[in-house]
Structure 1
Amino acid sequence: MSFSSDNTAAHNLHTLLSRVRNSTESTIAGSWSAVLEAEWGTLEFTRRHTEVVALLQLTMQQLVALPERQRIRCERHVSAWWYAVMQPVTNWMDETRLVRSIIDDDKLDHLESTADLISGHLVGSNAAPRSTDLEQMRSTCHEWVDLLTTMDETEISGPVRDQLISQLRHVIWLVDHAGTFGGARVAEEASTVIGSLAQASASVVNMQEESASRWKKAFLALVTACVVFNQASPIFQESITAGEQIVKEITSAIGDDR
C-alpha cells in the first residue's frame, strides 16, 4: 500500500497555486487553464476551478481542529490564499500583469506550513489520509452505482436514488483526478456519501431481498474502503464485526429479517 504524509487539502492547494504561480503562460487565465488541463471559459474549467475553491474551504474548516494558537496564526493568511485562488479585482486575461503576483513567497510558505500542521494533527482522518491507493474506493463506488441503477421507484424514491448516484459519480470523478485535487478531497466527499446512504437507508421501502442484501454489503464495503484509505491499515476481523453491527442498526429500516 502506498503511503503519504502530504495528502491534505492544504497540501494540494499549495501545489496548485505553486504551479500556477510558476507557469510560463502569459496570463492568469492561461496559467490556471494549463494547470487544470481545461480550456478557459468552459464548463470543465469551471468544474475544476470549483474544486480548487473546495480545497480552500476544507482547509479553512480543518483549521478549526488545530490548537487555538496555531489556528489563529494560520487564519491570518486565509484571505491571501482566497485572493490567490479568486483574484477578484484582477483581469485574468491581462498580459501585463505578472502571474507570479497572485501570491507572494511568504504567504505560499505559510500555506505549506499550515498543511503540515493539519497533517500532523489530523493524520489518519479524512482530512489527512495516510494512503494514496484509491482503487478500492473506486471499485466500491462503481458497485454502488450499479446497485442503485437496478433499483426502481418501488424500492427507493427516484430523486433520492438519482442524488445518491450523482454523489457517487462525483467521488469517482475525484478519484480519477486525485493527481490534481488529492486524496483528502476524495475522502471528504466519500464521507459525505456515507452519510447520505445512511439517511437513505431509513427511507427505502419494499426493497427486494437481493437488493437489501447488496445494500448492506455495499454500505460496509464503502465504510471499510474509507477507513483503509484514511488509516492505510487493514481492517481486522473485530472491526468488521463491529461494522456489521452498525450497518444492521443503520439499515434496520430495510428489514434485518430478510
Structure 2
Amino acid sequence: MSVSIENTAAHHLHTLLTSVRNSEESSLTDAWCKVLDAEWGTLEFAKRHSEVVTLLQMTIRQLNSLPERSRLRCERYVTAWWTLVMQPILNWSDTTRSPHILFDEDKLDHLESTADLISGNLVGTDAAPHGSNFEEIVEQCHEWIELLTSIGDDELNGPLRDELISQIRHLIWLIENAALFGGARVAEEASTVIGSLTQAGATLVNVQPENLSRWKKALLGLIAVCVVFNQASPIVQESITAGSGLIKEITAAVDDGQQSE
C-alpha cells in the first residue's frame, strides 16, 4: 500500500491557497501579502508569488505519474487551480469580493486529494521527499559557494561561475522559506543545482588538480545528502555508497571531456 507524505508541491500549494481563503482579508492583495509575509509591489513579493506558480507547475507535471483514470480526473481541475493562483480577470485590490468568496472550497478539496495521490505514487522521490532536515544541504551549499569563489576565471568561465553561485543561493533561500514552499520545491531545486554543477564540471579547463579533487568530492557530498533527504535513510553510508557509482560515471565523463580539449 502506498504511503502519503504531506511534503509535495501540491500539498503546499493547497496550504497556501487555503490560507489565502481563510485570511479574513477583504482583497486578494492583502490576503496574499499576509500569507506570503511580503509587501505588495516589492521584489520579495514577486519572488514568493512566483514560487507559488512554480508549485502549480510542478503539480501539473506530476499528474503524469498517476494512473490514467486518476490523471484524467485530476486534470479537469487544473484550470480552476490556475485561476485561484492567478485570478487573471479580477482586480486584486477589489474589496467587494473577498478571497473567502472567490476561492471555491470544493476546488481546494480536489487539490488536496490530488496531492495525496501524487504523494502515494512518488513517495521517496524529489516530488515527495521523506526528509525535513535541511542543515546538511545548507552546509553543502556553503561549501560549494566557497569552492566556486576560489576558482579563477582561467579554470571556470566567470559568468558560468556567477550563475552557479546564484542558483545555489536560491536553493538556500528556498530552504529558508521551506515552511511556505515545502521540501519538494527544495528537492527539485537541489536536483537542478546538481545537474548544473555536473555540466559545469565538464567545462573545466586548465583546472588545478586540487580544485578538481574538491569538485568531485563536493559533488558526491551534495548528491549524498540529497539522497538522504529524499528517502530519509537512517544509514547515511548506504546513500553515499549508492552515489559513488554515479559519481564515478560523472567524473569519468568530466575527465574524458577535459582530455579531449
TM class by shorter-chain length?
over 0.9
Could you tell me which residue of structure 2 aligns to residue 163 of structure 1? 163
In 2: Cα distance, 1:148 partner to 1:128 partner: 30
Could you tell me which residue of structure 1 aligns to residue 45 of structure 2? 45
The amino acid that maps onto 2:181 is F
Is the Cα–Cα contact under 8 Å of residues 36 and 180 in structure 1 kept in the other structure? yes
Asked if 1:182 is matched to 2:182, the reply is yes
Per mean C-alpha deviation after superposition, the further-off stretch among 149-158 and 11-20 is 149-158
Per mean C-alpha deviation after superposition, the further-off stretch among 242-251 and 190-199 is 242-251
Gap change, CA 1:107 and 1:33, over 3 Å in 2: same
Gap change, CA 1:241 and 1:22, over 3 Å in 2: closer
Could you tell me which residue of structure 1 aligns to residue 259 of structure 2? none
Is the Cα–Cα contact under 8 Å of residues 198 and 250 in structure 2 kept in the other structure? yes
In 2: Cα distance, 1:62 partner to 1:254 partner: 31
Per mean C-alpha deviation after superposition, the further-off stretch among 17-26 and 204-213 is 204-213
In 2: Cα distance, 1:116 partner to 1:156 partner: 43
Gap change, CA 1:218 and 1:8, over 3 Å in 2: same
- Aligned residue for 1:91, secondary structure, equals coil
- Deviation (angstroms), 1:254: 5.3
Asked if 1:72 is matched to 2:72, the reply is yes
- Deviation (angstroms), 1:240: 2.8
In 1: Cα distance, 2:179 partner to 2:239 partner: 30
Is the Cα–Cα contact under 8 Å of residues 83 and 102 in structure 1 kept in the other structure? no
Could you tell me which residue of structure 2 aligns to residue 195 of structure 1? 195
State how 1:1-258 maps to structure 2 within 5 Å: 5-235=5-235, 237=237, 239-252=239-252, 255=255
C-alpha distance after superposition, 1:186-217 (max 9, x if no partner): 00000011111111111111111221111111
- Aligned residue for 2:65, secondary structure, equals coil
- Deviation (angstroms), 1:125: 0.2
Is the Cα–Cα contact under 8 Å of residues 124 and 130 in structure 1 kept in the other structure? yes
Give the TM-score of the pair, scaled to structure 2.
Answer: 0.93
- Deviation (angstroms), 1:103: 2.1
Fraction of identical pairs, as percent = 64
- Count residues with an aligned counterpart: 253
C-alpha distance after superposition, 1:17-74 (max 9, x if no partner): 0000001222100000000000011111000000000000000010011111100000
Is the Cα–Cα contact under 8 Å of residues 19 and 35 in structure 1 kept in the other structure? yes
In 2: Cα distance, 1:176 partner to 1:220 partner: 23
The amino acid that maps onto 1:154 is D
C-alpha distance after superposition, 1:233-257 (max 9, x if no partner): 045545534522322331236559x
Is the Cα–Cα contact under 8 Å of residues 13 and 52 in structure 2 kept in the other structure? yes
Q: Which runs of 4+ in 1 moved over 6 A?
A: none
- Deviation (angstroms), 1:97: 1.0
In 2: Cα distance, 1:118 partner to 1:166 partner: 30
C-alpha distance after superposition, 1:97-131 (max 9, x if no partner): 12113321110000000000000000000000011
- Aligned residue for 2:246, secondary structure, equals helix
